[in-house]
Amino acid sequence: MEIDLHLPACRSLKAKRAVLRPITDGLRSRFRVSVAEVGDQDLWQRANIGVAVVGGTTSHVEDVMDEIERWVWAQPGIEVLSMDRTWMED
């Protein structure tokens, strides 16, 4: 899953990290997924986050991604620009 965010209150990279850290840490701890900032690292008000979900069944992975989407949309101080899912199967 790739999440594209707008961070309107950020005026520096330090402020951006302060906004992103609770989101990435929250995703890791709450959903047990791998999370990384995968793009727009040099822009203050934009962030692109990659989330990897692994599961035994497609339905479980879909449920986790649905929960991740709802959780990210509920976070204060950010605007979700897009969320894209990419599937990799054996």
What are the φ/ψ torsions at residue 37 (nearest 5 degrees)? -80, 115
Beta pairing, strands 79-84 & 2-6:
antiparallel
What are the φ/ψ torsions at residue 13 (nearest 5 degrees)? -65, -30
pLDDT digits (tens, 9 = 90+) for 36-60: 999 888 899 999 999 999 998 989 9
Type of residue numbered 16:
K
- State the pTM of this model: 0.86
Q: Which residues of the chain have pLDDT under 70?
A: 90
**CB-based burial of residue 26 (10 Å sphere; 0-12 exposed, 13-18 middle, 19+ buried)?**
middle
Of all residues in the chain, the percent with pLDDT exceeding 70 is 99
